[in-house]
Amino acid sequence: MNKTAVANQTDQLLADIAAYAVDGEITSKEAIETARYVLMDTLGCGMLALNFPECTKHLGPIVPGTVVPNGARVPGTSFVLDPVQAAFNIGCMIRWLDYNDTWLAQEWGHPSDNLGGILAVSDYISRTRLANGEEPLSMNDVLHAIVKAHEIQGVLALENCLNRNGLDHVLFVKVASSAVVCAMLGGTKEDVQNVLSQAFVDNSPLRTYRHAPNTGSRKSWAAGDATSRAVRLAMMTLKGEMGYQTPLSAEKWGFEDVLMKGKPLTLAQPLGSYVIENVLFKIAYPAEFHAQTAAEAAVILHDAVKDRLDDIDRIEITTHESAIRIIDKKGPLYNPADRDHCLQYITAIGLIYGELTADHYEEETAQNPLIDRLRDQMIVKEDKRYTEDYLDPKKRSIANCVQIFFKDGTMTDRIEIEYPLGHRRRRQEGIPLLEKKWAYHLKTRFPQKQVDQIVSLCQNPNQLKTTTVPAFMDLFVI
């Protein structure tokens, strides 16, 4: 059956996502438990970002002094905003330092970016209901929404590669947020199909701002823009704005023909809770995830090389194809957004300092001439096995290997790490450290009494689930 013959049929992918968003049941206890950690970690990343003026300059209402009845709170601030602008604010904060969770497949991204829309909309819905004498949403509703948004974005990413066509992954944030927030707002399956069609017709930003010579700070607010746009489209849809039946498959003018060289967009597997159960947490290092194991290896090697940095002949980094395509960078790096997406810079920082923090991407550290000298000595090559295991759904490794060779002919051990801290295979090791990361980030923003209140609630899963969304969001007001 050709495309013309099915012109009156809705694209199946839209129908499948809509059915899941509205009627899908989350039965996995592991998924809900992981969603709790996602909530904690993501908000913690946002609190840390509030210490950076380049982030906070984007926050607040578009028109200063705007008052919004029943508006949504922006955690870590005193802002009360309309849900569209609140979604941008929250999304900008949580993505700014490249420290929230990650999903790697044919496409990659950060599913917790959807919390911008989820938290803003759930708070807005709840405060509107309270004003009308109705019951607000609970944090259990939020946890289920997190699972669904992760699943939609992540399953879309399994086999649909936007980046090879020059498109940015935040399109899948817009798609996932559109479906989930529309359903939260009371949308039917038809409504969700309509808003999904709008999200795809909207298209995706180019990846221009993620690559030399144009790498820049837009990559830190692009997901906030996507999740807020989703809220806007969902609210328009629920006012009766029409949707489109075949935004993907329409001949000549559809997304697949225009942007994917005719390749159909597919869901690689049924939607459930696979993605959040396998999501990657950035526990130790605020760096692009393909470099996480390289950072770990470099920190391990620090003690062996810290007193011999001037004696290095070459540094060999063995990695996987995706890392080479995205973060193998030579030449000048112009800003923090450029540096935190450079495999060589990240590795050099680990070797020199024995740690890696967000401050290491700022100008003060970047001026150290030793960093670029080490970068110039690095040889990056692919191991085909690493690439195969990266794409294997049963392994999903993100392997890197680092070895140092000195001028006198000696060498360090070959430090190979296949699964980063934060991988599902290292959950038992990672969760206690994730909780420490969370508490530390809260302390950068709140007095100790407030930190203790937030931590205590989030460490009690049953109490958290029954807490109303406004009560939870009020804990983060400053």
> Distance between CA atoms of 374 and 376, rounded to whole angstroms?
5
Q: By the 8 A CB rule, do 348 and 368 touch?
A: no
pLDDT of residue 7: 52
- Among 316, 274, 298, which Cα is nearest to 411's? 316
Question: pTM for the complete prediction?
Answer: 0.90
> CB within 8 A of 442, min separation 6: which ones?
44, 47, 450, 451, 454, 455
Enter the tokens of residue 389. Answer: 């295991």
pLDDT of residue 2: 46
Residues 365-369: contacts with CB within 8 Å, 24+ apart? 366/333, 366/339
Q: By the 8 A CB rule, do 459 and 64 touch?
A: no
- Among 2, 15, 41, which Cα is nearest to 421's? 41
Q: Where are the alpha helices (DSSP H) in 289-342?
A: 292-305, 321-327, 336-339
Q: What is the DSSP letter of 136?
A: P
Enter the tokens of residue 13. Answer: 């992918």
> Distance between CA atoms of 173 and 228, rounded to whole angstroms?
10
Q: By the 8 A CB rule, do 70 and 120 touch?
A: no
pLDDT of residue 8: 61
- The number of angstroms, rounded, from the C-alpha of 401 to the middle of its chain's C-alpha atoms is 25
Compute mean pLDDT per 10 residues along the chain, 478 residues long, and list them: 56 98 98 98 97 97 95 98 98 95 92 98 98 98 98 97 96 98 98 98 95 92 98 98 98 97 96 96 90 97 97 98 94 93 97 96 96 98 96 91 98 97 93 96 97 98 98 97
> CB within 8 A of 225, min separation 6: which ones?
88, 91, 170, 205
Strand partners, 415: 402
3-state secondary structure of 285: coil
Token look-up 């039965």 returns 27
Instruction: Output phi, psi for 421, to 5 deg.
Output: -60, 125
Strand 80-81 and strand 378-382: pairing?
A: unpaired
pLDDT of residue 194: 98
pLDDT of residue 3: 47
The one-letter code for the residue type at 37 is Y
3-state secondary structure of 73: strand
Q: How far is CA 74 from CA 85, 115, 121, 466, in A?
A: 10, 12, 11, 21
